Structure 1
Amino acid sequence: MAKFSDLVKASVFSCADGFDKLTPEISVILPTFKRGDNGLFQKSVDSLLAQTFKNFELIIIDDGSSDSTAEHIKKYMSEDARVAVIRHPENIGLPAVSQDEGFLRSRGAFYFYAFDDNEYDVSAMETLLKFLEENPDLKAVYGASEFVLPNGNVSLIGDEDLDLDRLFTLNYIPNSPVLMRRELIDEIGFYDPHISMVRLCDWDLWCRIARKYPVGRVDKTLVKELSLSLPDSLANSYPLSKAAVRERMFTDRNDRLKPESIFDMEIDDISPRLSKRSQEEIKEIAETKFSRFFWSKKQYSVPEQSGKYLLAVVNCIEASVDMFFSSHDTNVIVLNELSLAEEMAYHLKNASAVVFCRYVSENYLTYAEACRRAGTPYYYCTDENFFDLGMMSFSHDLKYFLDRASGIMVSTAPLQKYFEERGFSEIQRVVPVVFRKSETFLDDGRFKNPKELGFLYASNMRMDGLTEFREVLKDLRRKYKIRFFIFDRQQQHQEMTAFAEACKQDEIEVKIIKGERSYDAFLNKLKPLPIHFILHPEGKNDEFRNNCKNKTLNFIATGVYASAFVFVPDIFPFSRVRDEYGITGAVYKQPKDIEEQIERLLSDKAYVHAWFNKEVSLCEKEMNPETNDRLFLKLLEASPSKRKTVQIQFKDRFEVFLYSLLTLFSLGKLHKKLKKKKKSLKKRLRFLKACR
């Protein structure tokens, strides 16, 4: 197999006079191939060199152009000291390789993606850089781009804020204009240069970034892009195997794509973990579209043992669902239930097993029916954050769905009991947030004679709980400056703002921070904050208390990751922290108890370390990733290696219709729901046809 190092070892670097003496703030990386004769390359470079922000370097990667591109680059280097070039003696054909190679040569604190079919607004760099300077908590920012379509019409992309769930379904962030901090590449890694990712490596990178860090957006169109209208664009030059892309996207590659590891990255391997169809598609692409390149093997073979994979279907990329599937030794693909029908149908047929998470929607019922016809076993998974559990009526839809599931996965013993009492068997225990000890640390220096204390409110569902801690904060305010942080994920901004205004009277600073659905993104927002303690409310209403009994101890992991100590009320299951793990100081009977423990933590270093070590031990036992790995492997081993595809017959249609009709009578309001059910039934049948 060809490695990244094989492709770039013959590259030749040259630069303008004075280039080595520059200390650029931004590094602009511009790959190009044979765009000199048609003038696009010059328009792109001219728009970059004309930027209002001047302190940047422009590294052009010429991928073996045989037209006038080299002459134009030579001219630019003679006129501007900011220009350098990496020349490939032979065409490599993978723009991701060029971008990654350019970064390895770059020196700037910020990284700007540029392309040779783009024209940039003169304020593009200045606008993006100003945004990041004003928002130091953000690692990356993007603006809008005008796409010129083949018919001459113009479409806008990048004019919407990033939403993690939508991003995992559809790529709506442009590949430029994007500006990111250099350390982001050091942590996340480069574009993936594998041949299967040639058209969607940018989407893959945005998803990898968004799972860990918040990304900003400027409301301005900064680029005009012509790629879709050009016959030699990537979209018009290479086929797309979206299934193979999706499978690869959910393979953990960040470490292998980091600057120190990228040289060993294989760019044309066919992984044994991929499904048979994806392996065949990569083989076909390699032999038909990449065989002309010097690094190609020309002939490729598919591994004898095709990898099985698990498909997880989710309503949204919530914290625990995201983390439940994020650390594993098995191949897992996560799809939002609103993914394109063609993509969903493909994976429902080809996955070894399917796991449906949380809310059982009408889409789930349709997908479960498709699984039954394809012979794909499916499972249901829920965790303690699924509040509808307390109100489950086990309707015809839900019971039909669960009765035909191969098993149910839950996060806690009370949830297991809940389903068993309702007649369900094959209940498996899972870990919804896996613990990663390598990411933990204890900053004990923060607890030695601090002048200010930082607190995090640990519930975004219960705003009335804020008042429980106000008196405690007022007492501590006599000795320390108090900062109180609240993450707003439930759009309860009005209640939070009212609390913040009330705290002003007590000289307590309250900061409301936009919440994140991804657990990694939440943690990366949390870690830089000056937080010493995390406060979990007791909960006075029955709904909150009923849900509490189903909870895990995941909140302890949040404290360990943030080097902060958690205080919880003396109710089950929070009391397990004291009763089973001996962390007595963490459990309070009344909020006033917290003050005594805080004073002890601030004065006793040994107490700090003993408490922290007990928390780590708790996390290692309660959130062991091997629990999920064993279960996933068990599911895959039990799944059939070959399945038949069942055609939809008339009786299948009648069965679905009759079942839907019976459900209608049980729900009432027949007339309105009949019209809605008729429409959804037609949609369901169309999807089931696609699953043939």
Structure 2
Amino acid sequence: MKVKDIIEVCRPIWMPGRAYGTYEAELTVLLPTFRRNRDGLFQRALRSILAQPLAAIEIIVIDDASTDGTAETIASAMQADGRISCIRHQVNMGLPAISEFEGYLRSTGQIIGFGFDDFVFEPDGLASLHAIMRAKGSCFVHGEGKMISEENDITLGDARFPHDNLFHHNFLANGAVLVSREAIESVGLYDPHIVLARLCDFDLWRRLRRRFNFEAIPLLVGREYGASRSDSLGNTYPMQYEVINEFMGIDRNKQLVPSAFLERDVLYTPADASYPLRHHIEELKEFFSTKSWFPAHGLRKTENAAEYESAPRRTVAVVGSLTASVALDWIGDPGSPLDFINHVDPEQSIYLTDPVLAKSDLVVFAREIMTPHQQRIIKQCRNLKIPHVYFADDNFPELAKTNRVWAEYNVSRLRNELRSFSGVILSSEKLREYFLREKLHPRLDVIGPIFLQSQLQKCSAAGPLGENEAAYRIATFGGLFRMQNLVHNILPVIRDLPGQVQLFTRDVNSSLGSRSVEHITIPETSSFFRFLKLWARKRPHVVVHPAGRSTNIDYKCESAILISLYLGAVPVVADEQAYRMFDVEDGVEKVSDTPEAWREALIRLQDPVYRAAMLARLRRTCETRFTDDEQRRILDSYLQGLPVLDAHRYASRCRALMGDRREQPQSDFRPGEHGYCQLNRAVEIVGSENLDGISSGNGFLDEVTGGSIVMGWAMTDQHDQCELLLEIDGYCVGSFSANLFRIDLQRAGYGDGRYAFWVKVPDIFRDENAHEVSVKFASSGQHLGRSPMTCVLR
């Protein structure tokens, strides 16, 4: 059933306002509504838009055949204010994405806002967001929206949380988003397909994120009241969240641009859809079958995989935080087979992770598989007999020999843990040789990072933002174990370079600048894509990757080469194992680790013509070497021959998961290892999906255990997750997310939330000397109660 046919059935009536077409709108707000007049919520939403201090605003209301007096309210409002226009359906449609499309066709503004009849804007929220968008020249901005519920209000779109979260769930309030007409004409509008009826906004944000840089604004734009209403889409439309990602992995932009939108089929089933997706489409067809536009012969049930017209798609889940490890190796360009991967945050609620497991043919566990959250999901895979593989990009057994943080990854324990795994995927040939020598697993494969054309385009559009264009810009983003080499071998060379130099480093308190060198630090972040955005804005000419001294150095991969290209910079690397296969013909300056060699390379790269030639070589290298061919081949080899996930197997898994959920006792909280913050009992009750951040709080840095691990806890007034910074001797050595205990839960008798985090100390500081250790709230810079504290790090 095509959009144009549905519109014809619903017979929209266009009623332009008195002022329509008489002025150039600065902002068009699309406002679909259905039966929200009787309780006054629609009127509140409409008045909140009209009250914005923005004269040239245009409002297009799309009334989906309401029968509760909405039409009369709209008519009265149009008579009072000529900026309001209306499209009224004579027959109910029930697909807000099509209503938005109809409104967009009539819009005249270059910036589009998405009002909804349950979203009430702050007095100047929309106008302020619009002004910021214009000032920044952005295509896509969002502020914050407060979701009002009967229990706990939730802040959506917190500017401090990375947009990587969109790989896991929708955390933006659609009313707090503004999009340029240019962006919509590029990636399209809300998808009207029935699978996305509830999450068409989520899908659009993800598609926009692929093409454009977000601007997150710390501004409360409005309040959303639909979550607490029984008649909201979220509480009435069926949805299987776990199959949405598979559908969103289909490259649909060309079908969703305004010029092609009328031909979009809202009922089609992809020929290679997995059984769970096909089943959900059929469930949705039954739900929409009462609509007047639904075709008489639109229902067809498929119970078994054998009835597929073609081979069903196999689904893969990657479990792991979206650090560089996962982001560089397991994310593909739009439409690529890797774009169908379900990315699972291991610390999310089981009500989000378990359904994804139920529909997965294969699960990849990334990096740190000994954490309690990863262990729980591994146990589920074993119980459900879901094939699973391990991906590692560091040599944890070697690290375990010198750092107790990684003690559980000793050869014996890791070998035993990997017994249930179908195989191991590694990031370097040297790492494969180690696993082979230690007999850690019989099947070992090697992959490299993946070049994303879409990511390069985004980074290229990210800056510069007010930097000194005449300066020679040098960046270094390596770990702290490379900082000593930078300071002793490279910094004196940089200070002697001719002309003005800007040096960009990680967030350190001591200045590395001089009379000729401006030292600029960039905030720490655990989000890889936020890291790229922050660093790309500085538009460095060169990335310096100092030599490292660690037990793990020979097992590192070549990711710095690809990251340099994303930043638009030529990489200058030491002659380490990871870069043995690269040279100047590949666009890489590789040097022996001497001041003279660094000086020669950096002086050569001051020539813009030479630099441009090197960048062109670097791009060709990344395009040809960093493909997803190996990932696809390896995944196909694991999936080949596996039984198809049909109705019986899928239902059996779901039953097993529900039974496990009922029988699982409420475990006491224990601190986590390896730098991951764990949920305690009370926060589990609240729900880990509550992502409100905090700007203040109180708590304690309790102790440094054995000189290698920092433990601590904190309480907050009304939130349960935030970003923390670990500082040693004034240097910020890492950032991490912590789920902190809430004071109201303590008062309710759910415990005191001690040891809400447990984070490792970098090896460079474990030198038997006394150091000042502190933990701060990233947003406010406020210390946790008893920090800083002085202790010996061993």
Shorter chain as denominator, the TM-score bin is 0.7 to 0.9
Partner of 2:421: 405
Partner of 2:154: 156
CA distance, structure 2, for counterparts of residue 396 and residue 308 of structure 1 = 37
* Cα offset, 1:254, TM superposition: 4.8
Q: Secondary structure at the match of 1:274?
A: coil
Contact 1:484 1:510 in 2 (8 A): yes
Give the AA of the match of 2:621: L
Contact 1:378 1:406 in 2 (8 A): yes
> Aligned ranges for residues 655-670 of structure 1 at < 5 Å?
none
> Aligned ranges for residues 45-56 of structure 1 at < 5 Å?
45-56=46-57
Partner of 2:315: 310
* Cα offset, 1:379, TM superposition: 0.9
> Aligned ranges for residues 639-650 of structure 1 at < 5 Å?
639-641=642-644
> Aligned ranges for residues 180-191 of structure 1 at < 5 Å?
180-186=179-185, 189-191=188-190
Q: Which has the larger displacement, 615-624 or 98-107? A: 98-107
CA distance, structure 2, for counterparts of residue 597 and residue 263 of structure 1 = 56
Match of 2:542 among 533, 537, 541: 533
CA distance, structure 2, for counterparts of residue 91 and residue 30 of structure 1 = 16
Partner of 1:344: 353
> Aligned ranges for residues 582-601 of structure 1 at < 5 Å?
583=587, 585-587=589-591, 589-601=593-605
Contact 2:570 2:611 in 1 (8 A): no
CA distance, structure 2, for counterparts of residue 21 and residue 329 of structure 1 = 48
Give the AA of the match of 1:612: L
Distance 1:458 1:106, change over 3 A: farther
Partner of 1:630: 633
Q: Deviations over 1:192-227 (max 9, x none)?
A: 32212222333344455567745524254x434332
* Cα offset, 1:321, TM superposition: 0.8
Q: Secondary structure at the match of 2:390?
A: strand
Match of 1:321 among 303, 321, 326: 326
Q: Secondary structure at the match of 1:268?
A: coil
Partner of 1:374: 384
Quick check: 1:123 aligned with 2:124?
A: yes
Contact 1:312 1:334 in 2 (8 A): yes
Distance 1:188 1:587, change over 3 A: farther
Distance 1:44 1:343, change over 3 A: closer
Distance 1:513 1:137, change over 3 A: farther
Match of 2:494 among 463, 470, 473: 473
Partner of 2:444: 427
* Cα offset, 1:253, TM superposition: 4.3
CA distance, structure 2, for counterparts of residue 429 and residue 348 of structure 1 = 25
Structure showing the higher helix proportion among its residues: 1
Distance 1:250 1:422, change over 3 A: farther
Q: Deviations over 1:499-551 (max 9, x none)?
A: 2xx416435252525546244x5445544533222221223xx32xx433223
Partner of 1:175: 174
Q: Secondary structure at the match of 1:503?
A: coil
* Cα offset, 1:138, TM superposition: 8.9
> Aligned ranges for residues 62-101 of structure 1 at < 5 Å?
62-101=63-102
Normalised by the length of structure 1, the TM-score is 0.79
Which ranges of structure 2 fall in alignment gaps of 5 or more residues?
303-307, 401-405, 666-672, 674-679, 685-794
Match of 1:553 among 548, 551, 558: 558
Contact 2:53 2:127 in 1 (8 A): yes
CA distance, structure 1, for counterparts of residue 361 and residue 563 of structure 2 = 33
Match of 2:432 among 370, 395, 416: 416
Distance 1:608 1:639, change over 3 A: same
Contact 1:64 1:88 in 2 (8 A): yes
Quick check: 1:517 aligned with 2:516?
A: no
Contact 1:244 1:274 in 2 (8 A): no
Distance 1:631 1:37, change over 3 A: same
CA distance, structure 2, for counterparts of residue 463 and residue 133 of structure 1 = 40
Partner of 1:25: 26
CA distance, structure 2, for counterparts of residue 566 and residue 56 of structure 1 = 48
Partner of 1:683: none
Distance 1:593 1:396, change over 3 A: closer
Partner of 2:781: none
Give the AA of the match of 1:332: I
Q: Which has the larger displacement, 81-90 or 45-54? A: 81-90
* Cα offset, 1:433, TM superposition: 2.7
CA distance, structure 2, for counterparts of residue 323 and residue 88 of structure 1 = 47
Q: Deviations over 1:338-364 (max 9, x none)?
A: 233244333334322111111113333
Q: How many residues align?
A: 628
> Aligned ranges for residues 670-685 of structure 1 at < 5 Å?
none
Quick check: 1:283 aligned with 2:282?
A: yes
CA distance, structure 2, for counterparts of residue 180 and residue 206 of structure 1 = 10
CA distance, structure 1, for counterparts of residue 146 and residue 485 of structure 2 = 44
Match of 1:458 among 477, 481, 485: 477
* Cα offset, 1:474, TM superposition: 2.6
* Cα offset, 1:164, TM superposition: 4.8
* Cα offset, 1:74, TM superposition: 3.5
Distance 1:593 1:628, change over 3 A: same
Q: Deviations over 1:131-176 (max 9, x none)?
A: 5467667942222324143xxx662332843245655545443332
Match of 1:506 among 487, 492, 516: 516
Query: Which of 1 and 2 has higher RCO (CA within 8 Å, sep 6+)?
Result: 1
* Cα offset, 1:334, TM superposition: 1.6
CA distance, structure 1, for counterparts of residue 324 and residue 14 of structure 2 = 45
Distance 1:371 1:592, change over 3 A: same
Q: Which has the larger displacement, 242-251 or 3-12? A: 3-12
CA distance, structure 2, for counterparts of residue 588 and residue 139 of structure 1 = 44
Q: Deviations over 1:398-451 (max 9, x none)?
A: 3333122111111210111121111122111223333539957999xx9xx973
CA distance, structure 2, for counterparts of residue 470 and residue 137 of structure 1 = 36
Q: Tell me how large the CA RMSD over aligned residues is.
A: 3.9
Match of 1:436 among 433, 453, 472: 453
